[in-house]
Chain A
Amino acid sequence: MTDDVTDDAPLSAAAEYALGLLTPSEARAFEEQMNRDINLRAELVLWQEHLVTLTDDIAPVAPPEHTFQEIADRLFGVQQKRWSLTSLLAGAASAIALAAAVAFVILPAPNPSHNDLIAGLVGDEIGLQVDAVFDPDTNTLTVDRLAGGPAEGRVFEIWLIAGDDAPVSLGLLPDAPSGQVKIATELAALFAGGVLALSDEPPGGSPTGAPTGDVVAVAPLNSV
């Protein structure tokens, strides 16, 4: 066993970590060290980028047909509603035309009547609380911002998601604590069983017709 490199040549644990040669406790120690040392982190990235090319010779193999569905079931099956919402919100939408059909006017909130649909929109992480009430008799959506609001230079946009359809913009959440949106008849029919969501957007709202920023709150529309 001879070698032409001297024993004391320096080697950080980055290479051994990338290869998986460290014991679990050594690996934890390296991670702690790396969290404090940006150079060590950079060294690990370099090793990972180099080592990954050892997989270049591995030919792609099409996975079984059912695999993606199984992944989706495992990820989204339990919380189907919630997940499908966020994905729908992020998906492409042809909602621009419909969004143009609605506009906000500031009016006092009416009393809820028996056939109203309400959604309590809560964004825990940003302390946001918005109550939305839809009155099918007048096709108006009343929004009450009880707490929280968008960051400086940002706005919240309101979206309706019905079934598997792409989200439809209902306009921007007004600066005032309370406001109303007049909903077009063809959209109003979609409220029952639908879901409301708020997304974080640049001033003027999403430029694409689909949500572009974080979805900050999601809530189903329920009967009073």
Chain B
Amino acid sequence: MTTLEDIEHYINRIALGDRDAFASLYNSTSAKLFGVTLRVLNNRAEADDALQEVYIKVWRAAGRYQSNGLSPMTWLITIARNHAIDRLRTRKKGQTGLDEVAELADPAAGPEAQAIASSQRAQINDCLDELPADRAKAVRRAYLDGDTYQDLADLMQVPLNTIRTWLRRSLIKLKDCLSQ
């Protein structure tokens, strides 16, 4: 059973160039991170490529992990999410969208990965539920689909400045709720 302490230990060893620790980290976290890149990119080949780039970043940035204040899975998932969204935005600027049917979750993903995935409490969902549904959706779309203010304005068919004001107010409410 891989614990968060184990993950943190692997990252610290990776910072020293420990390839065995890198393999251990990959084995215990790659299914979750692949789930994330797949969810954002919705294309298995692209998600695989993104996953490779994510672990390359992890290898190179491990030495800076200690100082960023994040818990280890947050650090890893945030790298995966940000990288996948960067790719998604690059793709959107291009002319072709290679949408594929979303992959179903793979039950073969190990129990360790499952345990890590469910180890965090989802307080933000409760707070998002207190917002009007379309605003909660906008926050989720920004985080999980990489929507920009412009994307959201187009989607909701409202002016850009309106969506900006709208979402900022929602974030203030969200912050209040999360800090309770």
A-side residues, CB < 8 A to B, are 1, 3, 5, 7, 9-11, 15-16, 19-21, 41-42, 45-46, 48-64, 67-68, 70-72, 74-76, 83-84, 86-92, 213-215
Specify which of A61, A70, A89 is in contact with B109 (CB 8 Å cutoff): A61
Instruction: State in angstroms the CA–CA spacing of A48 and B70 once bound together.
Output: 8
A51 vs B38: C-alpha distance in the bound complex, in angstroms? Answer: 18
Distance in angstroms from B72 CB to nearest chain A CB is 11
The answer to whether B52 and A56 have CB atoms under 8 Å apart is no
**What is the number of contacts between chain A and chain B, taking CB atoms within 8 Å?**
172
A101 to B161 alpha-carbon distance, docked (Å): 75
Q: Which of A20, A21, A48, A53 counts the most B-chain CB atoms under 10 A from its CB?
A: A21
Chain A hits for B39, CB < 8 A: 55, 58
The reply to whether the CB of B16 lies closer than 8 angstroms to some CB of chain A is yes
Kindly state the separation between the CA atoms of A64 and B51 in the bound complex, as whole angstroms: 10
State how many angstroms separate the Cβ of A25 from the closest Cβ of chain B: 14
In the bound complex, what is the Cα–Cα distance between A84 and B78 (angstroms)? 28
Shortest CB-to-CB span from B170 to chain A, Å, is 8
- When chains A and B are docked, how far (Å) is the Cα of A130 from the Cα of B178? 56
Cβ 8 A contact of B114, one of A57, A60, A70: A60
Residues of chain A lying within 8 A (CB to CB) of residue B171 = 11, 15-16
- CB pair A62–B175 under 8 Å, yes or no, is no
